[in-house]
Amino acid sequence: MQMKKDSYQPDKKIVAVCGLFCPACIIFIAQRESPEKRKKIAENLHLSVEALKCDGCRAENRFTYCETCKLEPCAAEKGLDFCGECEEYPCEMLKEFQAAMPHRIELWQAQARIKEVGYEKWFEEMLEHYSCPQCNTINSAYHIACRECGATPSCSYVDLHNVEIKSHLSNSQRESSE
């Protein structure tokens, strides 16, 4: 069953301190919807299927890469909910993190919007931002076409950042074939 935008309510557990939106993560989606997809992703990443577990940034059960993230423990140590609340924002650690992948392009906008309207309203906006305009399925930044109905672009995030995403995917495929 595909996750639709009405499947979620605002929950800080599935909102990363950096401004990433967990319900739009390929790992988060695969864990909830498709054992087959989860297995395929694990094979592509050379990880065990068990490593592809994640209940969100602030959850006990996190994806292997998320478990090593330094941003969440930093915010927790400072008593902050989001990096944008920090006196050092944006720190070098966050700048490096943001620049590394296309699904992180909007972190600065996310932090500003969370500060402006609160995480609950921002959460609702992100559900819309990552949902297919045709069928309301939540897609990730890397789903160029909707994974349910095939609509292109899959969501407004992909529409806005199509060039960067396709370039990243092309480079990743080239690197994996070498």
Average pLDDT of the residues of the chain: 91
- Write the pLDDT tens digit of every residue in 68-80: 999 999 999 999 9
DSSP assignment of 71-84, as one string? HHHHHHHTT-SSGG
Check residue 94 and give its pLDDT.
97
Check residue 65 and give its pLDDT.
85
Q: Is the pTM of this model over 0.85?
A: yes
CA angle 112, 114, 117 (to 5 degrees): 105
Task: Grade residue 174 by pLDDT with cuts at 50, 70 and 90.
Answer: low
Mean pLDDT of 73-90: 97
Q: What residues make up the domain containing 79?
A: 5-177
Q: What is the percent of the chain where pLDDT is above 70?
A: 96
Cβ atoms of 142 and 29 closer than 8 Å: no
- Write the pLDDT tens digit of every residue in 130-161: 999 999 999 999 999 999 999 999 999 999 99
Check residue 66 and give its pLDDT.
87
Enter the tokens of residue 104: 């992180």
CA distance 161 to 13: 26
- For residue 95, pLDDT over 70 is answered with yes
Task: Grade residue 4 by pLDDT with cuts at 50, 70 and 90.
Answer: confident
User: How many structural domains is the chain composed of?
Assistant: 1
Enter the tokens of residue 172: 């990743």
